[in-house]
């Protein structure tokens, strides 16, 4: 089980929206379990668990840990592929329609925070693209992979290390590009605000110190 | 159980460095359990589990879910406080020595990635301060709290919403400040690089598209 795994398929985000599937993943981070053991833990039928596992394995969130022969049966034990999933739109354009639907829903939900936006279709695609570029900037994935294999660094230390190593490894040119992407993302988002309302102002800009 | 909880005490990071404690937390995200149930799940003694729970409760990672009376005994069921812990140095300066020790270790670990740095004591404190400011910028914590309470938005949707709402809510002045903090952090980190080596160059700046 890796400390962190980046998932860039919007289908994975869809799967994690379901509470039962998340509970299965939490169990499989704590222990390797068979389908019938998971069923007992979560008080569900093995059929229901099997149905979820069949979706989680191809999405690379769950994997077969080992198989044990018990009399004439083969018992399959599953485990989670990582302790943390880091979700990103990526830049592959894979399942674009699904990614756009999710972003559209997110933008519409801003209303619940009293932030009024007008969702423009062409902007949605651009926002996803820019966010994906930021999240996968500078071979971040390779760096996380390298860090995850290190010995003598604990689970939290690895996450801190990946973040510090990312920042320190960027060349001046890359860092400038990264800043530009952040500016582009904010500009795209701000462009959706409806002129009459604007975002809710923060009551105070004071921070704890 | 909240979707996301920000932890700003370096002691919490220390606790999460331990694998057994993380496994306890994963179990308590899947189900509410008593100490003896956890002991059975993880094949440990109830005493060992109790020892960990006694540390996880004051750190606000685990809480009492409910108490049940069974004959003359009160059975206490525990649960995790959140499905995701987001770790941050914060800006409180709480447990500063511990935070500095962790950051020092992280900087020294850069060596394992062939990034050579000279760890300067006064810079370590500045790096923690700047990182803490970035992570808690613009009342991010309040925003996450508000988002976590929304109905009709799924677990992943809430995380996406918090990130989009953060970016769109910043005033121009705040966004400029946020960019300056990112520049400051990178400058501090780059200042630690030893002149003779420099960071490992990335083999290719090409991104998947």
Query: What local confidence, expressed as pLDDT, does residue B88 receive?
Result: 82
Average pLDDT on B189-200 reads: 73
Contacts of A27 in chain B (CB under 8 A): 26-27, 30-31
Domain with CATH 1.10.10.10 in chain A: 2-84
Arithmetic mean of pLDDT, A182-200: 82
Q: Determine the residue of chain A that is closest to B43 in CA distance.
A: A31
- Average pLDDT, integer, range B21-43: 97
Q: What is the pLDDT of residue B151?
A: 84
Chain A residue with CA closest to B108: the answer is A161
Secondary structure in 3-state letters for chain A: CEEEEEECCHHHHHHHCCHHHHHHHHHHHHCCECHHHHHHHHCCCHHHHHHHHHHHCCCCCEEEEEEEEECCEEEEEEEECEEEEEECCCCCCCCHHHHHHHHHHHHHHHHHHCCCECCCHHHHHHHHHHHHHHHCHHHHHHHHHHHHCCCCCCHHHHHHHHHHHHHHHCCHHHHHHHHHHHHHHHHHHHCCECCCCCCCCCCCCCCCC
In the prediction, which pLDDT does A8 show?
83
CB contact under 8 A, B186 and A204: no
Q: Look up the CATH number of domain A2-84.
A: 1.10.10.10
- Range of weakest confidence among A74-78, A132-136, A192-196, B150-154: A192-196
The percent of residues in chain B predicted with pLDDT above 70, rounded, is 93
**For residues A97 and A120, what is the distance between their CA atoms, to the nearest angstrom?**
15
Q: According to the model, what pLDDT value does residue B55 have?
A: 97
Q: What are phi and psi of B61, to 5 degrees?
A: -100, -25
**Confidence bin at A202 (pLDDT 50/70/90):** very low
Closest approach of A29 to chain B, Cα-based (Å): 6
ipTM for the whole complex = 0.82
pLDDT band at A196 (very low <50, low <70, confident <90, very high): low
Closest CA to A183 of B156, B180, B136: B180
User: In the structure, what pLDDT confidence band is assigned to residue B99 with cuts at 50, 70 and 90?
Assistant: confident
Contact B91 A17 (CB under 8 A): no
pLDDT tens digits along A32-65: 999 999 999 999 999 999 999 999 999 999 999 9
> Looking at beta carbons, which residues of chain A come within 8 Å of B78?
none
- Predicted confidence at residue A56, as pLDDT, reads 97
Residue of A nearest to B180 (CA): A179
CA dihedral for A98, A100, A102, A104, sign (positive or negative): negative
For position B198, what pLDDT does the model report?
45
Residues of chain A contacting residue B192, judged by C-beta atoms under 8 Å apart: 168
Beta-carbon separation of B207 and A136 below 8 A: yes
User: Would the pLDDT of A209 be above 70?
Assistant: no
- Report, as an integer, the average pLDDT of B14-39: 95
State the pLDDT at residue A154.
86
A153 contacts on B by Cβ (under 8 Å): 109, 112
B208, pLDDT greater than 70: no
> Is A91 in Cβ contact with B208 (below 8 Å)?
yes
Chain B closest-CA separation from residue A145 CA (Å): 11
> In the prediction, which pLDDT does A109 show?
94
Contact B23 A41 (CB under 8 A): no
Mark yes or no for CB contact A200/B169 under 8 Å. Answer: yes
pLDDT at A198: 45
With bands split at pLDDT 50, 70 and 90, how would you rate the model's confidence at B41?
Answer: very high
Residue A154 Cα, gap to closest chain B Cα (Å): 5
Mean pLDDT of A138-142: 82
Instruction: Check CB contact under 8 Å for A42 and B29.
Output: no
Question: Mean pLDDT over residues B32-48, rounded?
Answer: 97
Which is nearest to A20 in space by CA: A44, A40, A4? A44
Task: For chain B, give the mean pLDDT.
Answer: 89
pLDDT in tens, B126-149: 999 999 899 889 878 888 888 988
Q: Which of these, A137, A142, A133, lies nearest to A167 by C-alpha position?
A: A137
Could you tell me which chain B residue has the CA closest to the CA of A142?
A: B202
- DSSP 8-class letter at B158: H
Q: What is the pLDDT of residue B207?
A: 42
Which one of B41, B155, B207 has the shortest CB-CB distance to A17? B155
Compute CA B94 distance to the chain's CA centroid, rounded to the nearest angstrom.
15
CB pairs under 8 A between A and B: 190
Of all residues in chain A, the one with the smallest CA distance to B22 is A30
Cα–Cα distance, B200 to A33 (Å, whole number): 41
- What integer pLDDT is reported at residue A208 of this predicted model? 43
**DSSP-assigned letter for residue B117:** B
Residue B92 has pLDDT above 80, yes or no: no
List for chain B the helix, strand, coil content (%; round to 5): 55, 15, 30
Mutate to test the interface with A, among B106, B116, B140, B188 (most CBs of A within 10 A): B106
Structure tokens at A58: 């191809």
Q: What is the structure's pLDDT at B148?
A: 87
The DSSP output letter for B33 is: B
Percent of chain A with pLDDT over 90: 61
Q: Do A109 and B153 touch (CB under 8 A)?
A: yes
* Distance in angstroms (rounded) separating the CA atoms of residues B8 and B141: 11
Contact B139 A207 (CB under 8 A): yes
Q: Distances in Å between the alpha carbon of A88 and those of A7, A63, A76, A140? A: 6, 21, 30, 11
Residues of A in contact with B154 (CB under 8 A): 17-18
Distance, in angstroms, between B69 CA and closest chain A CA?
A: 22
* Residue-wise pLDDT tens digits, A150-170: 888 888 888 899 999 999 999
Q: What is the pLDDT of residues A109-120, one digit of tens each?
A: 999 999 999 999
Average pLDDT, integer, range B153-177: 92
Scanning the structure block, which residue is given the tokens 């302790």? Answer: A83
């Amino acid at each position: 089980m890796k400390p962190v795994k980046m998932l860039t398929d919007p289908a994975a985000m869809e799967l994690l929206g379901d509470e039962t599937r998340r509970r299965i993943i939490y169990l499989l981070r704590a222990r390797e379990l068979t389908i019938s053991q998971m069923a007992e833990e979560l008080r569900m039928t093995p059929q229901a668990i099997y149905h979820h596992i069949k979706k989680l394995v191809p999405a690379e969130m769950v994997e077969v840990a080992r198989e044990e022969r018990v009399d004439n049966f083969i018992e399959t034990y599953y485990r989670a592929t990582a302790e943390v999933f880091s979700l990103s739109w990526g830049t592959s354009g894979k399942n674009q329609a699904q990614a756009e639907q999710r972003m559209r829903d997110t933008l519409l939900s801003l209303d619940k925070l009293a932030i009024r936006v007008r969702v423009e279709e062409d902007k949605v695609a651009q926002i996803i693209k820019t966010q994906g570029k930021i999240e996968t900037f500078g071979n971040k994935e390779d760096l996380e992979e390298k860090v995850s294999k290190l010995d003598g660094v604990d689970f939290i230390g690895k996450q801190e290390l990946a973040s510090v190593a990312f920042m320190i490894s960027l060349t001046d040119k890359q860092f400038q590009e990264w800043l530009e992407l952040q500016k582009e993302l904010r500009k795209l988002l701000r462009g959706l605000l409806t002129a009459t309302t604007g975002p809710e102002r923060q009551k105070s800009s004071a921070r704890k110190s």
